[in-house]
Amino acid sequence: MADLRGALPSDAADLARLLGTNPRAMTLRLEAFSHDPSGTVLVALGWTGAVVGVIALHWAPSLGCDRAVAQISVLIVAEDERRQGIGRALVKAAAQSARVAGCDTMQIVAPDAAPFLDALGFVATGPSLSRRLRKQA
């Protein structure tokens, strides 16, 4: 199982490779996240210490919900590292971060990943998939 932690500036090169962008752009993106209290980036580390997975999410108030909603903007695991529970662990850690931030719901727009997300309790809600983070009273 991969180790999970918050993304660091030193992860920029690994994240750039994973997301198909350049390290300089990734450095700037990580810098922006580090100053934004309404979001987080979590990474999964492989046995070599390289980043093999990432999830990024933001939370904000919503007119459709009583509490803030967390929106996953990125969820990716390196192709050769898939089917090892890394994506599941990243979603679980992100859900915990969202709950701590006061969110009741987590959403993602990822039609290609629907079967994976269905298995994690996400359900279709219009163009996105969502998952409750707290039990309803």
Q: Are 40 and 94 in contact (CB under 8 A)?
A: yes
79's tokens:
């192709």
Q: For each of the chain's 137 residues, which pLDDT tens digit applies?
A: 679 999 999 999 999 999 999 999 999 999 998 888 889 999 999 988 899 999 999 998 888 778 888 888 889 998 888 888 898 899 899 999 998 998 888 887 765 666 676 767 777 776 676 777 876 55
Q: Between the CA of residue 53 and those of 12, 47, 75, 78, 115, what are the distances in Å? A: 13, 12, 8, 6, 18
Q: What's the residue count for the chain? A: 137
Beta bridge partners of 51: 45
Nearest CA-CA partner of 21 in 12, 11, 33 = 12
Q: Are 46 and 81 in contact (CB under 8 A)?
A: yes
Q: Using CB atoms within 10 A of its CB, is residue 88 exposed (0-12), middle (13-18) or buried (19+)?
A: middle
Predicted local distance difference test score (pLDDT) of residue 51: 94
